[in-house]
């Protein structure tokens, strides 16, 4: 019995040893860079202090980057989730062949982001893009600038849609068809069903998806970089330009800006975890 | 209106919404495909003529082939590293220290919550010089891509592990005389094959499209496909469209394989 216990103990030690390589790599590539950024965000020429942050919050240029980031993230998430809600609900109501096909396609296009997506949108919606020309001919638009804030919101919305569908589609499982029928039997109209049953059940999932979309857009770098060659003022572009640009390298300032982005992401992630715990799950 | 009529109209509405969703998602891809196949297309709604010459030009460009190969090397390297690091971790956590699982669930949120552009700031400084100078080499990308694949592989394989009931399986193997090593390798691992393969295919499809780390940390010193694509910005739009479509074809292949495997399981 006692030998059995010691071998078990030795097994546990050996097992813990197996965790070491993972821990080393995780620390090297995830924790260490983050710690470096956190430390240097509060380092100034003569020691420690919050000078970097006060510089950011008194600079119109940096504040504009933060504002642009928040605006683009918010509007692209609103548009993305709106289309995803309509789409996921209808996906539940069509035959399984069409549903499986469109779901598979949607999941695939979630990989269509960043540089290739920027290229595709220039072809379609650039100054001489096919869709721009078509819409101009019909007279729906005067002009369209894909390199502007509105243009970026359109492009971002595109990559939000597949993610929104992927996250929301399972949530609609919670709305059982028989509830709808019971509500109708008890005399509830369509509006009443959504107001008192549908929406309250879906709310945590909707908000949870919304914050994920926000985070997705806040951290996005490749799309806006490829589209505007780094000339549009958003947070990720500002951060990268201060560590990898040819001029004005300033890693401490980049760290301070990065910490602002991280704190926005942390708020979003915590909100998501909290909403996740509150959401309804279908009993399987 | 009768009930059947309402049902019919409702059904039509949902079909239209689903097809519209499909069209919205298809449009940029279809536009790029058409552009990559057209001889010239500017200031008109439809192209002038169709050709394969952009694909021929692309697939005989040595810089493209090099970038393609380098992307494959980095992705496969990162996936191999992830398997070697994550499989033992999963086994040890779930068999010996189940309490660690909740800590892991917090740790794997980090790659989600910390945008690559933030990590890059630190990585450039920590590994820019000194004994671990890795900036500008594929090694740093392999390490970073491991952190990207981690949350995804951890979750996918955890689900698989819970489905096979690890403690019972191990007890049964022990009872039949297998050592813990043997049981882990020859009993548990084969049962995880499908979950592992699915998560590898999907991880590959998004690592293949990674741009931020590749561009900031390495750039042209070890050009991957996405960096090459960005650097080709000033070449012909038809040429870069052929590149986008070729890239997406590979992503499609790998997501299709993952989907196929997933279906087999159920």
Q: Could you tell me which chain B residue has the CA closest to the CA of A83?
A: B21
Would you call B114 and A30 a contact, using CB atoms and an 8 Å cutoff? yes
Q: Is the dihedral of CA A117, A123, A128, A132 positive or negative?
A: negative
CATH number at residue B127: 1.10.3720.10
Contact A72, A284 (CB under 8 A): no
Q: Which residue of A has its CA nearest to B249?
A: A108
- Domain membership of residue A17 (yes or no) is yes
- Asked if the model's pLDDT at residue A279 lies above 70, the reply is no
Mark whether B30 and B133 lie in a shared domain.
no
One domain for residues A92 and A11: no
The stretch A201-214 carries a mean pLDDT of 88
pLDDT score recorded for residue B265:
52
The band of A1, judged by pLDDT with boundaries at 50, 70 and 90, is very low
Asked if residue B214 lies in contact with residue B141, where contact means CB atoms within 8 angstroms, the answer is yes
As a dihedral over the C-alpha atoms of residue A52, residue A56, residue A57, residue A62, rounded to 10 degrees, the angle is: -170
Mean pLDDT of all residues in A87-108: 90
Closest-CA distance, B186 to chain A, in angstroms, reads 17
Residue with tokens 């909740």: B102
Chain B contact set for A111 (CB, 8 A): 205-206, 209, 248, 251, 255
Q: Across chain B, which distance is largest between two alpha carbons, in Å?
A: 78
Name the more confident of A1 and B165.
Answer: B165
Pair A154, A141: CB distance under 8 Å: no
The token pair at A227 is 């589209």
Rounded to whole angstroms, how far apart are CA atoms A83 and B54? 35
Let me know whether A155 and A78 are in one domain. yes
- Which residue did the predictor score with more confidence, A212 or B265? A212
The CA–CA distances, whole Å, from B227 to A54, B70, B216, B219 equal: 35, 11, 10, 7
* Whether residue A114 sits in one domain with residue A152: yes
Domain boundary among B51, B69, B91: B51
CA pair distance B130, B127, nearest whole angstrom: 7
Per-residue pLDDT of B7-36, as tens digits, reads 677 789 999 999 999 999 999 999 899 888
Nearest to B30 by CA among A269, A234, A105, A100: A105
C-alpha distances (whole Å) from B211 to each of A213, B35, B63, B215 are 19, 23, 17, 6
User: Residue A52: inside a domain, yes or no?
Assistant: no
Residue in chain A nearest B85 by alpha carbon: A22
Give this complex's ipTM: 0.87
Residue A4 pLDDT: 63
What local confidence, expressed as pLDDT, does residue A282 receive?
Answer: 45
Residue B182 lies in a domain: yes
- Please check whether residues B20 and B84 belong to one and the same domain: no
A72-93 pLDDT, tens digit per residue, is: 999 999 999 999 999 999 999 8
In a domain, A284, yes or no: no
Asked if residues A174 and A282 have their Cβ atoms less than 8 Å apart, the reply is: yes
Contacts of B147 in chain A (CB under 8 A): 26, 29-30
Pair (B96, B30) in one structural domain = no
Domain of residue A18 covers 1-41
Judge if B21 and B96 occupy the same domain: no
Structure tokens at A220: 């996005």
Note down the domain range covering B173.
61-265
| Comparison of pLDDT for A177 and B115, the residue scoring more | B115
- A50 in a domain, yes or no? no
List all residues 6 or more positions away from A55 whose beta carbon is below 8 Å from its beta carbon. Answer: A62, A253, A256
pLDDT for B180 beyond 60: yes
Q: Does a structural domain hold residue B41?
A: yes
Which of B113, B209, B251, B262 to mutate to probe the A interface, most A CBs <10 Å? B113
- Out of B10, B33, B51, pick the residue that ends a domain: B51
Specify the pLDDT at position B255.
Answer: 82
- A55 min Cα distance to partner chain B (Å): 19
Do residues A158 and A117 both lie within one domain? yes
Number of domains in chain A: 2
Whether residues B46 and B65 share a domain: the answer is no
Q: Closest Cα partner for A243 from B246, B124, B167?
A: B124
Instruction: Determine what percent of chain B falls in helix, strand and coil, rounding each to the nearest 5.
Output: 80, 0, 20
Which residue would you say has higher pLDDT here, A221 or B265?
A: A221
Classify strands A43-44 and A47-48 as parallel, antiparallel or unpaired. antiparallel
Residue A48 lies in a domain: no
Q: What is the nearest CA distance from B256 to chain A, expressed in angstroms?
A: 8
Examine the domain organization and report whether A14 and A132 are in the same domain: no
Based on the fold, state whether residues B235 and B149 are members of the same structural domain.
yes
Residues B35, B68 share a domain: no
Residue B56 lies in a domain: no
User: What separation in angstroms does the CA of A131 have from each of A73, A122, A134, B45?
Assistant: 24, 10, 5, 7
Q: What is the C-alpha to C-alpha distance for residues A214 and A272, in angstroms, rounded to an integer?
A: 11
Is B37 strand, coil or helix?
helix
d(CA B215, CA B212): 5
DSSP states of chain A as a string? Answer: -HHHHHHHHHHHHHHHHHHHHHHHHHIIIIIHHHHHHHHHHTEETTEE-SHHHHHHHT-HHHHHHHHHHHHHHHHHHHHHHHHHHHHHHHHHHS-HHHHHHHHHHHHHHTT--SHHHHHHHHHHHSTT-HHHHHHHHHTS-S---TTSHHHHHHHHHHHHHHHHHHHHGGGGGGS-HHHHHHHHHTT--HHHHIIIIIHHHHHHHHHHHHHHHHHHHHH--HHHHHHHTT-S--HHHHHHHHHHSSS---HHHHHHHHHHHHHHHHHHHHHHHHHHHHS-----
Query: Which of B85, B122, B211 has its CB closest to that of A115?
Result: B211
- For residues A130 and A8, state if they share a domain: no
Chain B: give the shortest CA distance to residue A133, in Å: 6
A284 has pLDDT over 50: no
* Residues B146 and B234 both lie in one domain: yes
Q: Please give, one letter per residue, the 3-state secondary structure of A26-38.
A: HHHHHHHHHHHHH
Same domain, B27 and B134: no
Residues of A in contact with B124 (CB under 8 A): 243-244, 251
Q: C-alpha angle with apex B169: B165 to B173, nearest 5 degrees?
A: 170
Residues from chain A that touch B226, judged by Cβ atoms under 8 A, are: 114-116, 222
How high is the pLDDT of residue A2? 53
Mean pLDDT for the stretch of residues B119-140 = 90
Same domain, B142 and B31: no
Share above pLDDT 90 across residues of chain A, in percent, rounded to a whole number? 44
Chain A residue nearest residue B150, CA to CA: A26
Number of CB atoms found within 10 A of residue B154's CB: 21
Q: Are residues A207 and A272 in the same domain?
A: yes
For chain B, what is the mean pLDDT? 88
CA distance A85 to chain B (A): 11
Task: In whole angstroms, give the CA distance from residue B212 to residue B148.
Answer: 12
pTM exceeds cut of 0.90:
no
User: Could you tell me if A23 and A68 lie in one domain?
Assistant: no
Q: Give pLDDT, residue A64.
A: 95
Q: Give the CATH number, domain containing residue A199.
A: 1.10.3720.10
Domain match, A10 and A68 both: no
**Other CB atoms closer than 10 Å to residue A176's CB: what's the count?**
11
Q: How many CB pairs below 8 Å do chains A and B form together?
A: 245
- One domain, residues B233 and B124: yes
The tally of domains found in chain B comes to 2
Task: Provide the pLDDT for residue B264.
Answer: 66
Residues B32 and B74 in one domain: no
Dihedral angle over CA of A105, A107, A110, A112, nearest 10 = -40
A134-140 mean pLDDT: 81
Q: Which of A266-280, B27-41, B165-179, B224-238 has the least mean pLDDT?
A: A266-280
Give the C-alpha separation, A222 to A118, whole Å: 9
> Does residue A51 lie within any of the structural domains?
no
Q: Do A34 and B118 touch (CB under 8 A)?
A: yes
């Amino acid at each position: 019995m006692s030998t059995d216990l010691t071998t078990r103990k030795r097994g546990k030690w050996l097992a813990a040893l197996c965790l070491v390589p993972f821990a080393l790599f995780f620390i090297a590539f995830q924790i260490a860079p983050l710690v470096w950024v956190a430390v240097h965000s509060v380092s100034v020429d003569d020691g420690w202090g919050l000078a970097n942050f006060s510089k950011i919050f008194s600079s119109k240029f940096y504040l504009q980057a933060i504002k642009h980031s928040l605006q683009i993230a918010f509007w692209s998430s609103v548009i993305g989730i709106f289309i995803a809600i309509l789409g996921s609900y209808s996906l539940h109501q069509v035959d399984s062949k069409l549903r499986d096909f469109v779901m598979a396609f949607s999941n695939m296009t979630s990989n269509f982001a960043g540089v290739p997506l920027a290229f595709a949108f220039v072809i379609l919606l650039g100054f001489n893009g096919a869709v721009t020309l078509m819409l101009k001919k019909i007279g729906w638009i005067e002009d369209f600038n894909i390199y502007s804030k509105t243009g970026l919101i359109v492009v971002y919305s595109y990559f939000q849609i597949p993610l929104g569908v992927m996250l929301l589609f399972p949530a609609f499982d919670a709305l059982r068809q028989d509830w709808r029928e019971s509500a109708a039997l008890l005399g509830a109209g369509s509006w009443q069903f959504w107001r008192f049953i549908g929406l309250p059940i879906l709310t945590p999932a909707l908000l949870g998806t919304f914050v994920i979309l926000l985070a997705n857009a806040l951290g996005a770098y490749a799309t806006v970089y490829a589209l505007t060659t780094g000339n549009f003022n958003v947070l990720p572009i500002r951060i990268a330009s201060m560590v990898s640009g040819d001029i004005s390298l300033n890693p401490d300032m980049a760290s301070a800006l990065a910490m602002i982005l991280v704190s926005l992401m942390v708020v979003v992630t915590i909100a998501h975890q909290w909403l996740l715990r509150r959401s309804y799950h279908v009993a399987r | 209106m009768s009930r059947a009529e309402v049902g019919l109209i409702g059904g039509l509405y949902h079909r239209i919404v689903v097809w519209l969703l499909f069209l919205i998602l298809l449009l940029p891809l279809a536009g790029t495909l058409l552009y990559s196949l057209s001889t010239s297309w500017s200031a008109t709604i439809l192209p002038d003529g169709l050709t394969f010459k952009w694909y021929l030009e692309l697939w005989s460009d040595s810089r493209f082939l090099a970038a393609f190969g380098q992307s494959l090397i980095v992705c496969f390297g990162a996936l191999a590293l992830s398997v070697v690091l994550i499989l033992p971790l999963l086994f040890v956590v779930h068999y010996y220290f189940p309490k660690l699982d909740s800590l892991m669930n917090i740790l794997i949120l980090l790659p989600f919550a910390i945008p690559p552009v933030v990590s890059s700031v630190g990585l450039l400084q920590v590994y820019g010089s000194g004994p671990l100078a890795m900036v500008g080499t594929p090694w740093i990308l392999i390490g970073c891509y491991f952190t990207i694949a981690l949350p995804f592989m951890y979750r996918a394989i955890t689900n698989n592990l819970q489905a096979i009931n690890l403690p019972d399986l191990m007890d049964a193997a022990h009872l039949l005389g297998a050592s813990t090593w043997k049981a882990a390798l020859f009993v548990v691992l084969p049962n995880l094959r499908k979950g592992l393969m699915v998560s590898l295919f999907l991880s590959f499809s998004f690592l293949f499209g990674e741009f931020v780390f590749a561009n900031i940390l390495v750039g042209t010193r070890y050009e991957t496909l996405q960096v090459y694509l960005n650097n080709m910005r000033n070449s012909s739009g038809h040429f870069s469209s052929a590149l986008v479509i070729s890239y997406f074809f590979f992503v499609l292949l790998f997501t299709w394989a993952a989907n196929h495997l997933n279906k087999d399981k159920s």
